[in-house]
Amino acid sequence: MLLLLSSYKMKSIPVVDLGEAKIDNIITQSSVIHMLAECAGLQWFESWGTRKLSEIGLPLMAPDLIVKVYEEEPVLQAFKLMRKKRIGGVPIVDSSGRKVVGNISIRDVHFLLTAPEIYHDYRSITAKNFSTAVEGYLKTHQEISPFVRGMVICTKNYSIKELIMKLDSEKINRVYVVDDAGNLEGVITLRDIISRLVHEPRGYFGDFFDGVLPLPSDSRV
């Protein structure tokens, strides 16, 4: 299950009752992170959880490979990038391209249609102004969205336990790694954390997946 959610790029896995020929449950990446958070206090978790992110090879992606959008670029560019790169979110960076100033998720696209303050200018509104407008819309209408949140950051000195607790409590799918000056150093997703928990023995699935997942090697889906 962990291999499917990490190495094989699945976001969720159905649990099937073969006898009844029905789906009993769905296991998601988020549910695995929540399960890990509930392991706090157990010896194995506390021992593993004290390790720093840098000690276990996180973040996986180098800063120059991160897909990002500049704050003055049209927000439509952010959604185009997410579609082209098959990713769920991108950081908003300042003009230097180094400092993170916000975050846009693929699920935020509905605000282009539902928020009047946005859809009138949806072709020209910038990523920065889009983020600000969404926050204002939610406050004005006293709505709480699980999808739109302020950006969440950490440093490489975070322990894996601290990161898991943050991801679980904030109910988010990614966190941005920054240095002491606030410069972007990487991004860590739920899949990245799950991949640190499991190793696939050579030939474990045989040729079962050959030709089934024709995704590029650098895909972040």
User: 131-137 long-range CB contacts below 8 Å, 24 or more apart?
Assistant: 131/92, 131/102, 131/103, 131/104, 134/108, 137/111
**Residue bearing the bigger pLDDT, 135 or 150:** 135
> What's the pLDDT tens digit per position in 60-110?
988 889 999 999 999 999 999 999 998 989 999 999 989 999 889 888 888
E-strand ranges in 98-212 read: 100-105, 153-154, 174-178, 184-189
Burial of 34 by CB count in 10 Å (0-12 exposed, 13-18 middle, 19+ buried)? middle
pLDDT of residue 216: 52
Q: Is 191 left (phi over 0), alpha (psi -120 to 50) or beta?
A: alpha
The two structure tokens encoding residue 185: 């150093």
Residue 41 scores a pLDDT above 90: yes
Give the pLDDT band of residue 211 (cuts 50, 70, 90): low
CB 56 within 8 A of CB 156: no
Taking Cα atoms as reference points, which of 119, 122, 30 lies closest to residue 75?
122
Distance CA 58, CA 193 (A): 8
